[in-house]
Structure 1
Amino acid sequence: MLSRVCRLSSTAGVCALLAALSACSSGPPLFLSDGRPTIPVQCAAAGDHDSCNQQARQRCGGASYDTVDTSRSGDMYTLVFACMAK
């Protein structure tokens, strides 16, 4: 009987882990199909989001970038981008 309870507990743990991991997959990709990494930056949601654009340009060394995703959560705006190849 004890081994059966342990198997059920183990199965429940694995299911919980899989559910948690699947929730993570709904976000933007970590890498684009061409291999470029994506980078998230955050700024205040109010205004024109220029702070996010400045952060992206700075992280790309002044080069252009492709916007991968944008989102707003409360008072924070998130820009996910990938630097253009130099």
Structure 2
Amino acid sequence: MKRSFSFYARRACATLAAGAMVALSGCSSSAPLFLPDGRATTLVQCPAGSDSCSQQASASCGGAFDVVRQSTENSTLNLIYACRAK
């Protein structure tokens, strides 16, 4: 049975698309990180120089939170925080 070029092209595209889906799902399904005391951590990103990361953390925690790590990269503030126990 002779197959056309378009058959192989469609098959290659389908294989690449499936591979991309697997790669992307691995990023989004990673387990959350926990502190030694058992509290879950969360990463938020916002423009450097703004206080929106702190506002997001405060809103998410209902007030108090602890900063685990903070860094600035390419004008983006990366804030990893954990909510304080209530």
TM-score range, shorter chain: 0.5 to 0.7
Root-mean-square deviation (Å): 1.4
Larger Rg: 2
Structure 2: 5+ residue runs without aligned partners? Answer: 1-31
Which of structure 1's runs of 4+ aligned residues deviate more than 2 A?
A: none
Aligned length: 55
Q: What residue number does 1:3 align with? A: none
| SS at 1:53 equivalent | helix
> How does the TM-score come out when normalised to structure 1?
0.59
Question: Percentage identity across aligned positions?
Answer: 53
Tell me how far apart the structure 2 counterparts of residues 75 and 50 of structure 1 sit (CA, whole Å): 13
Structure 1: 5+ residue runs without aligned partners? Answer: 1-28
Q: What residue number does 2:77 align with? A: 77
One-letter amino acid of the structure 1 residue matched with residue 80 of structure 2: V
Tell me how far apart the structure 2 counterparts of residues 73 and 30 of structure 1 sit (CA, whole Å): 21
